[in-house]
């Protein structure tokens, strides 16, 4: 596997800032604020409603959609069911974060149903992705996060770097899903979108970590670094 070109990641970040795509995030409540702020820092427009009556209209008008299965409450489950009803007709890129699909059978079953979407990126940790291995069509972009992030697809990538503070604040993995969705909104090739997003996030984390005194100071510095990423 090869790293994703930094210059290409910056080019796509500039496209986000120029186009201001709307990313609709059905994500867990702990991660909503930091995910929305990361999207805004990149120049995307976040929308976060999980109301079941909102989701069809918001999804159809979005440039990308994030679905995070963490802390799944009934209202968000109903909204996800409504989104799934769109099926193959929904051509918007969808990023699925199958949180704890390896531990909770219901979440694994729900995650498997996302195989119907034609533009799907699945991002999870090693255990989550192992639980879903073989479920999705070969066209699916699969992203396994960890000490090194691995992007599987027509062009595979391996992304390293970052900073240890990324693992020391709640919602960091969810934030990564949101960033991938922002890049998917401007880059139609799933592996390139995911590779660029994770390259941008790890580069921003490394920059933020040089000045941070701990996780509490790291998060706002990370947002600042994401906002500056396209300027490099």
Given phi > 0 = left and psi -120 to 50 = alpha, else beta, which region is 162? left
User: What Å distances lie between residue 39 and 42, 141, 149, 212, CA to CA?
Assistant: 5, 21, 20, 21
| Amino acid 206: pLDDT | 97
Q: Looking at residue 89, what is its pLDDT?
A: 86
Locate the domains of the chain by residue range. Answer: 6-143+167-224
pLDDT of residue 155: 87
* Domain 6-143+167-224 belongs in CATH node 3.40.1190.20: yes
| Burial of residue 14, with CB atoms counted within 10 A of its CB: 0-12 exposed, 13-18 middle, 19 or more buried | middle
Burial (CB count within 10 angstroms: exposed 0-12, middle 13-18, buried 19+), residue 57: exposed
CA dihedral 212, 216, 219, 220 (to 10 degrees): -80
Residue 23 in tokens:
């990313």
- The structure's pTM equals 0.97
Alpha helices for 43-162 (secondary structure H):
55-61, 74-84, 105-112, 126-131
Q: Report how far residue 99's alpha carbon sits from residue 101's, in angstroms, rounded to the nearest whole number.
A: 6
List of long-range contacts for 113-117, beta carbons under 8 Å, 24+ apart: 113/84, 114/67, 114/84, 115/140, 116/84, 116/87, 116/88, 117/87, 117/88, 117/90
- Report which DSSP code applies to 89: G
Question: What is the full per-residue pLDDT of the chain (232 aa) written as tens digits?
Answer: 899 999 999 999 999 999 999 999 999 999 999 999 999 999 999 999 999 999 999 998 999 999 999 999 999 999 999 999 988 888 999 999 999 999 999 999 999 999 999 999 999 999 999 999 999 999 899 999 999 999 998 889 999 999 999 999 999 999 999 999 999 999 999 999 999 999 999 999 999 999 999 999 999 999 999 999 998 7
Q: What is the pLDDT of residue 219?
A: 97
3-state SS, residue 3: coil
Query: Do the beta carbons of residue 129 and residue 100 sit within 8 Å?
Result: no
């Amino acid at each position: 596997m090869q790293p994703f070109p930094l210059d290409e990641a910056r080019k796509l970040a500039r496209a986000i800032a120029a186009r201001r795509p709307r990313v609709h995030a059905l994500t867990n409540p702990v991660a909503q604020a930091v995910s929305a702020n990361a999207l805004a820092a990149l120049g995307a427009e976040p929308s976060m409603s999980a109301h079941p009556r909102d989701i069809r209209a918001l999804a159809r008008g979005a440039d990308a959609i994030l679905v995070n299965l963490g802390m799944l409450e009934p209202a968000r489950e109903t909204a996800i069911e409504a989104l799934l009803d769109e099926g193959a007709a929904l051509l918007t890129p969808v990023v699925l974060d199958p949180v704890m699909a390896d531990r909770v059978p219901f979440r694994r079953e729900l995650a498997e149903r996302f195989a119907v979407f034609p533009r799907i990126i699945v991002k999870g940790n090693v255990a989550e992705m192992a639980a879903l291995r073989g479920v999705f069509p070969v066209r699916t972009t699969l992203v396994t996060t960890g000490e090194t992030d691995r992007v599987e697809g027509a062009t595979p990538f391996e992304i390293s770097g970052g900073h240890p503070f990324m693992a020391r604040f709640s919602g960091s993995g969810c934030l990564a899903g949101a960033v991938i969705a922002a890049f998917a909104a401007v880059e139609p090739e799933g592996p390139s979108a995911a590779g660029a997003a994770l390259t941008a996030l790890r580069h921003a984390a490394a920059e933020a970590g040089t000045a941070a005194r701990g996780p509490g100071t790291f998060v706002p510095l990370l947002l600042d670094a994401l906002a500056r990423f396209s300027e490099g």
